[in-house]
């Protein structure tokens, strides 16, 4: 069995991923789940499914087995696969055009990938991050 190093606890998930697809995966994983289980699960998920196409082509039961610790594996699987399909033709502008991505995901994308600090998030962690970044 392979050991996957969890993401760092002192940084937000969004600060530890490398591209916008990984960002959207993290956002969907964070929905109705605490950050600690996501930080344990995301590295393994991205090891097995490093791209949207890898996830789309993957065995459904295998994907769900990795998502199981987060709860709602069936719902997450559906959201992740449909978001990944959408991502392949997405223009990179409005993140809410991707299946399963709402205000939190859109705000997070604006902040971490577009460096748009003028968004007004309702999420307390995004608010805290923005405050630290704009008052540093």
Contacts (Cβ under 8 Å, ≥6 apart) of 125? 12
Which of 125, 107, 124, 129 has the alpha carbon at shortest distance from 116? 107
Residue of 10, 61, 107, 123 marked active site: 123
123 annotated active-site? yes
Would you please indicate which residues are annotated as catalytic (active-site) residues?
123
């Amino acid at each position: 069995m392979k050991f996957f190093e969890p993401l760092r606890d002192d940084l937000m998930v969004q600060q530890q991923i490398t591209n916008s697809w990984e960002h959207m995966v993290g956002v969907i994983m964070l929905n109705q789940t605490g950050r600690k289980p996501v930080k344990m699960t995301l590295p393994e998920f991205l090891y097995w499914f490093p791209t949207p196409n890898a996830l789309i082509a993957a065995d459904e039961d295998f994907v769900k087995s990795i998502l199981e610790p987060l709860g709602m594996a069936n719902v997450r699987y559906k959201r992740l696969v449909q978001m990944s399909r959408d991502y392949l033709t997405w223009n990179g502008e409005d993140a809410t055009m991707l299946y399963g991505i709402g205000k939190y995901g859109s705000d997070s994308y604006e902040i971490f990938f577009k460096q748009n600090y003028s968004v007004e998030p309702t999420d307390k962690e995004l608010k805290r991050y923005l405050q630290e970044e704009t008052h540093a």
